[in-house]
Amino acid sequence: MQRNDDPEFWQSVTGTLEQGEDPCETARREVLEETSIEITRCGYELIDCQKINTYEIRDRWKHRYPPNTPFNTEHVFSVAVANDQIIALTEHSAYLWLDKQSAMEKVWSDTNREAISLYVPDSNL
């Protein structure tokens, strides 16, 4: 998905843990908020990839974090959805369905690229 605040930045669904949430709950909520997909109601399976990344926060986004927070922690999840799944964007300008290699070339962050490489089957995205 293409970020509203940076048209060169394409990424997966992302979000912040809210008070009392576990990472799986956050992933379901963020997918719903950003795409309108209700994972459980649609019969999809959210897969916890058991991968946690830590990366440096971009200077332009540090204002979103508590002062002196240099790094962010990212929990990696995946969910396969139907090709004809209706998407309603709320926080992004556009989305694309791409093959695996094209998606890896399109995303901005190394951690998104790695997640696609490791957890998306070669036959689809």
For the domain that residue 46 is a member of, what is the CATH number?
Answer: 3.90.79.10
> Is position 57 within any domain?
yes
Is 41 annotated in a binding site? The answer is no
> Is position 124 within any domain?
no
Is 109 annotated in a binding site? The answer is yes
Domain of 109 in residue numbering reads as 2-119
Could you tell me the pTM of the whole model? 0.87
CB 59 within 8 A of CB 42: no
Helical residues (DSSP H) of the chain, grouped into ranges: 23-35, 100-106, 110-119
Is 58 annotated in a binding site? The answer is no
> Is position 112 within any domain?
yes
> Is position 125 within any domain?
no
Number of structural domains the chain divides into: 1
> Is position 98 within any domain?
yes
Is 91 annotated in a binding site? The answer is yes
Is 78 annotated in a binding site? The answer is no
Local confidence pLDDT in tens for the 125 residues of the chain: 998 888 888 999 998 889 999 999 999 999 999 999 999 999 999 999 999 999 888 887 788 888 888 888 999 999 999 989 999 999 899 999 999 999 999 999 999 999 999 999 987 44
Is 3 annotated in a binding site? The answer is yes
> Is position 74 within any domain?
yes
> Is position 63 within any domain?
yes
